[in-house]
């Protein structure tokens, strides 16, 4: 069976809370440069953030990201955890992700679209059509 998407769910801790939040990392071969992280809200809806796959990969070892999404291994007290920070005009949130889960997710995305071959999987014409129809 061939798939063009990877989804991985996990529980994460929000803003140092002791109550975990359900999250989902997603990757689609048609958007090979990006990953999406989704968080389930108390109302059963999902809040999604899409950002560069490279940002997530770099964040495994070094602080990564300068804008609305940042991944840092050095903010967590536990070396097995990563900190994902998300900021918007509506607020700020900090999540702790298990490093091993992120590594497993990224390895799965590399099997689907190897690192460095993203442009071979990117459909520029589809993007132009999508932007034109807005």
pLDDT, tens digit (0-9, with 9 covering 90-100), for 49-104: 999 999 999 999 999 998 899 999 876 677 888 999 999 888 888 888 889 999 99
Collapsing DSSP states into helix, strand and coil, what is residue 103? helix
Sequence-ordered strand ranges (E) for the chain? 5-14, 20-28, 34-40, 46-52, 69-72, 81-88, 91-98
What's the half-sphere exposure (Cβ side, CA atoms, 13 Å) at 36?
14
pLDDT given at position 12: 76
pLDDT given at position 1: 40
Question: What's the CATH architecture for 3-112?
Answer: Roll (2.30)
- CB 6 within 8 Å of CB 27: yes
Q: How does the average pLDDT of the chain come out, rounded?
A: 83
Closest to 28 measured CA to CA, from 94, 97, 127, 99: 127
- Domain boundaries along the sequence of the chain: 3-112
């Amino acid at each position: 069976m061939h798939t063009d998407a990877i989804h991985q769910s996990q529980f994460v801790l929000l803003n140092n809370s002791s109550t975990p939040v359900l999250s989902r990392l997603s990757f689609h071969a048609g958007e090979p440069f990006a990953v999406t992280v989704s968080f389930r809200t108390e109302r059963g809806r999902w809040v999604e953030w899409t950002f560069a796959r490279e940002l997530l990969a770099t964040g495994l070892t070094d602080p990564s990201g300068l804008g609305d999404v940042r991944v840092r291994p050095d903010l967590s007290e536990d070396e097995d955890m990563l900190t994902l920070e998300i900021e918007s005009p509506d607020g700020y949130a900090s999540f702790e992700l298990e490093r091993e889960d992120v590594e497993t997710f990224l390895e799965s995305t590399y099997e689907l679209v190897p690192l460095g071959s993203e442009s071979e999987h990117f459909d520029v014409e589809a993007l132009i059509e999508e932007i034109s129809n807005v």
